[in-house]
């Protein structure tokens, strides 16, 4: 029971209170770049969620059972990158086979998921937070992906409407998106301090 409570709180924490996009600025590139349309943003979010969950678990397993017992921590970043690239390759093949329409919409952005900071970010933070059981790792890394999906979906919905608004000439495009993101962050700050 106690364990369940910790897991649930951890999940809520990374989805809402400590959302990676809003509080740690990870994944701001796709957040500002591709989130022009809601359906694409949602698909992108799901792909990222799958990769974070997979690579979060795999990196933790490799770290815990191979790198640390053998004193190979120095190769940690190289191993993480290899695992993430492998996971992204897997997702790319899967999407191409089963969702060809979605695959065409993503275009170049799909292979670029491997350079998405959210994914390497969660692998590193799991390491920094020194989490030592697999269930928690799985919940946290899935939660981070869902938090990212939430963030880019909100942003995409706002940007769909932003296209119709009269914005000062020099603020069009990225600047107004960043300012909007700032205001959004402020809204999410209301949750700060609720957990952890």
Partner 1 sequence: MAESSTAKIDYLSALTAGLWKENPTFRLLIGMCPPLAVTTAVKPALTMGLCVIFVLVCSNVAISLMRNLLKPHLRIIMFTLSIAAFVTIADLYLRAFSPKMSEALGAYVPLIIVNCIIIFRAEACASKCNVWVSILDGIGSGTGFTLALCVLAGIREILAAGTFFDYRVMPKAFVPWAAMQMPVGAFVTLGLLLGLATLITTKRAD
72 near partner 1, rule: CB under 8 A: no
Q: How far is the CB of 136 from partner 1 (least distance, A)?
A: 18
Q: Is 13 in the site for partner 1 (CB under 8 A)?
A: no
Q: Choose which of 7, 9, 12, 23 interacts with partner 1 (CB under 8 A).
A: 23
55 binds partner 1 (CB under 8 A): no
User: Is the separation of the CB atoms in 14 and 140 below 8 Å?
Assistant: yes
| # chain residues binding partner 1, by CB under 8 A | 48
Q: Tokens for 7, please give them.
A: 């897991």
By CB under 8 A, tell whether 59 contacts partner 1.
no
Output the smallest distance, CB 158 to partner 1, in A: 13
Q: How far is the CB of 29 from partner 1 (least distance, A)?
A: 6
Report the residue from 5, 70, 101, 170 that binds partner 1 according to the rule CB under 8 A. 170
Q: Does 168 bind partner 1 (CB under 8 A)?
A: yes
Longest dimension (CA), the chain: 60
Q: Provide, rounded to whole angstroms, the least separation between the CB of residue 103 and partner 1.
A: 17
Is residue 174 a contact point for partner 1 (CB under 8 A)? yes
Interface residue list for partner 1 (CB under 8 A): 22-29, 32-33, 74-78, 80-82, 85, 111, 114-117, 119-121, 124-125, 128, 168-179, 181-183, 185-186, 189
């Amino acid at each position: 029971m106690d364990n369940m409570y910790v897991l649930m709180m951890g999940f809520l924490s990374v989805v809402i209170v400590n959302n990676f996009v809003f509080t740690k600025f990870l994944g701001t590139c796709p957040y500002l770049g591709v989130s022009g349309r809601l359906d694409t943003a949602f698909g992108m979010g799901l792909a990222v969620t799958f990769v974070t969950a997979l690579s979060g678990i795999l990196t933790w397993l490799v770290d815990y059972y191979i790198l640390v017992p053998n004193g190979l921590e120095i190769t940690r970043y190289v191993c993480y990158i290899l695992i993430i690239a492998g996971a992204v390759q897997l997702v790319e093949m899967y999407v191409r086979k089963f969702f060809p329409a979605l695959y065409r919409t993503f275009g170049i952005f799909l292979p670029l998921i491997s350079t998405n900071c959210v994914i390497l970010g969660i692998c590193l933070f799991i390491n920094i937070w020194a989490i030592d059981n697999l269930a928690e790792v799985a919940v946290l890394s899935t939660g981070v992906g869902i938090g990212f999906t939430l963030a880019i979906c909100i942003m995409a919905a706002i940007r769909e409407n932003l296209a119709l608004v009269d914005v000062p000439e020099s603020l069009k495009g990225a600047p107004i998106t960043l300012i909007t993101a700032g205001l959004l962050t402020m809204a999410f700050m209301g949750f700060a301090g609720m957990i952890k």
